[in-house]
Amino acid sequence: MRPAELHLTAAGARKGSLILVNRDHPLQGELFPDLVPLQGGWPDQHLDRTAARMLDAAIRAVQGTGQILPVSGWRSQDEQQAIWNSSLTDHGPDFTARYVARPGCSEHQTGLAVDLALCAEHIDFIRPEFPYDGVCGTFRKVAARYGFIQRYTEEKQDKTGIAAEPWHFRYVGVPHAAILTEAGLCLEEYPAFLRQAPRVVRLENGRRVQVSYLPWTGTETRRPAPGACWQLSGTNEGGFILTVWEGEA
Report the nearest approach of Zn ion to the CB of residue 39 (Å).
18
Stretch that binds Zn ion, among 44-52, 108-116, 135-143, 181-189 (CB under 5 A): 108-116
Distance of CA 65 to CAs 43, 172, 177, 224, Å?
15, 22, 22, 43
Q: Side chain identity at 98, as an amino acid letter? A: R
**Pick 140 or 216: Cβ nearer Zn ion:** 140
Stretch that binds Zn ion, among 59-67, 107-115, 172-180, 204-212 (CB under 5 A): 107-115
Number of residues that bind Zn ion (CB under 5 A): 2
Residues 153-172 that bind Zn ion (CB under 5 A): 168
For residues 2-15, one letter each, b for 16 or more C-beta atoms within 10 angstroms of the residue's C-beta and e for the rest, the string is eeeebebeeebbbb
Report the nearest approach of Zn ion to the CB of residue 51 (Å).
13
Residues 50-69 that bind Zn ion (CB under 5 A): none
**Contact criterion met (CB below 8 Å) for 146 and 54:** yes
Report the nearest approach of Zn ion to the CB of residue 6 (Å).
32
Report the nearest approach of Zn ion to the CB of residue 188 (Å).
16
When asked if residue 115 is in the footprint of Zn ion (CB under 5 A), the reply is yes
**Pick 62 or 100: Cβ nearer Zn ion:** 100
Rounded-to-integer distance, Cα 89 and Cα 49, Å = 34
Stretch that binds Zn ion, among 80-88, 113-121, 196-204, 223-231 (CB under 5 A): 113-121
**Residue positions counted in the chain:** 249
**Pick 115 or 237: Cβ nearer Zn ion:** 115
Report the nearest approach of Zn ion to the CB of residue 75 (Å).
9
**Pick 13 or 18: Cβ nearer Zn ion:** 18
**Pick 56 or 115: Cβ nearer Zn ion:** 115
Residue from 165, 188, 220, 237 carrying the catalytic annotation: 165
Quick one: CA dihedral 68, 74, 77, 82, positive or negative? negative
Count CA within 13 A, CB hemisphere, residue 31.
31
- What are the beta bridge partners of residue 170? 113, 149
Distance of CA 167 to CAs 114, 136, 222, Å?
8, 10, 40
> Three-class SS of residue 73?
coil
Q: Is 30 a catalytic residue?
A: no
Residues marked active site are found at 165
* Binding footprint of Zn ion on the chain (CB under 5 A): 115, 168
